[in-house]
Amino acid sequence: MNNIRVVRVARSVHRKHAFESRRWYAKTKFPPVVTPMLPPGTFENKVAFITGGGTGIGRGMAKMLARLGANVAIVSRKQDVLDATAQELSAKTRMKILPVAADVRDPAAIAAAVDKCEQELGLPNIVINNAAGNFISPTEKLSPNAWKTVVDIVLNGTAFVTLEIGKRLIKAEQGANFLAISATYTNLGSGFVVPSCAAKSGVEALTKSLAAEWGRYGMRFNCISPGAVFTKGAFSRLDPEGQFTKTGIEGPIERVGEIAEVANLAAYLVSDYSNWLTGEVIRMDGGHLNHIAGDFNKLVDLDEAKWKMLEAAIRNTSGS
C-alpha cells in the first residue's frame, strides 16, 4: 500500500511539472536531420514501386529514393494527386517519376500498374507497401464494410502487390528488396483502430514469413513500424482535434518524427547496405513505446526539488 502511495505522489508531481521540465530538452536535444544519409547514386539503375506514394510518408520515401538515383513508380487511387507529386519530384530530382492510378484492393488494377511500371521503367527491384486506410472509431460502431475496407487496403493490398511483383521477379530470376510500413500499436494492440491494428499485424507476419521463404529467390523483406509522424492526411482522420498529438512526444526524444527520418531508414532498408538484414520489424518512435511501458519512466521529468520532496515522503512511510 505504501508503494502505491509513493507512485501516486510521483504521478501527481509529474503531471504538475512535466511540461516545465521538458521545454529545454525538446528544443535542444535530438533535432531531426532530413538530408539523405546514403551517398549520391546509391540507387542508380534501380526501379522503385511505392504504393501510397502520392502523399505523406510515401511521397517522402519516393523523394528520398529519387534523390539517391532511383526511378520511381508512385501508386495510389487519385491520379491528380499523383500527377502533381510526380511533376514536382521529377523537377527536383531529375529522375523519372511515374504516376500510376490503381486501387490496391483490386488485383487486376495492381497487375495493370505493374505492367505500366515494367514497360516504362523496368521490373521493380524495390517495392514499398505503404498504402493505408485508417480512422478512429469505437469498435462496436464499425460496419462490416468499414472493417473490410481497412483490411483490404492494408493487408490484402500489401499481399496483392507483393504476390504480383514477386511472381514476376521469380520468373525473371531477379532479386528485390521489399519494405512494408506498419505502426507501433501492433506491439501492444490498440482500441479504436482495431481493423488497422489487426491488418498491420498481418503485414508484419507476412514480412517475416516471406523473408524466410523467398530469400532463396534473392528477395529481402523488412518492415518499419513508425510512431507519431506528422502527416496532414493521417492526423486529420486520427487526431482531428489535436488531443493525442501531445502524447506522441512522450519519450526520451520528446518530439514527433519527420517524414524524412522515416524515408532515410526506408532508403537504408531497401539498399545494398542492409543486405544482411531481413525479416525484421523496426520500430521508430522516439522511444515512445518504451517510455509508456515502464511504470516509473515518467519520473524522468522530476527536477531536484521534486525528488527531495518525494524522498521525504518515502522516508516518512512506515511498514512493509
Q: What is the mean pLDDT of residues 3-29?
A: 44
| Three cell numbers, residue 252 | 526520451
Supply the pLDDT for residue 319.
60
pLDDT digits (tens, 9 = 90+) for 34-46: 999 999 999 999 9
Q: Say if residue 110 is exposed, middle or buried (CB neighbours under 10 Å; 0-12, 13-18, 19+).
A: buried
**What letter does residue 154 receive in the DSSP assignment?**
I
220-244 tens-digit pLDDT = 999 999 999 987 765 655 566 666 5
- List, for residues 47-60, the tens digit of each pLDDT value: 999 999 999 999 99
> Domain map of the chain by residue range?
1-31+303-320, 32-286
| Catalytic residue IDs | 185
Amino acid letter, 31: P
67-81, 241-255, 275-289, 292-306: least confidently modelled range: 241-255
> At CA 229, angle to CA 205 and CA 298, rounded to 5?
90
Could you give the percent of the chain with pLDDT greater than 90? Answer: 70
pTM for this model (two decimals):
0.86
pLDDT at 24 over 80: no
Kindly tell me if the per-residue pLDDT of 213 is higher than 70.
yes
Q: Label each residue of 176-238 as H, E or C.
A: EEEEEECCHHHCCCCCCCHHHHHHHHHHHHHHHHHHHHCHHHCEEEEEEEECCECCHHHHHHH
Whether residue 299 is predicted with pLDDT greater than 50 in this model: the reply is yes
Looking at residue 236, its pLDDT comes to: 58
Q: Which CATH class is domain 32-286?
A: alpha beta
Give the pLDDT of residue 180: 99
Segment 144-148 shows an average pLDDT of: 97
pLDDT band, very low/low/confident/very high, at 298 (cuts 50, 70, 90): confident
Strands (E), 35-181: 47-51, 71-76, 97-101, 126-129, 176-181
Q: Which residues contact 13 (CB under 8 A, 6 or more apart)?
A: 302, 306, 309, 310
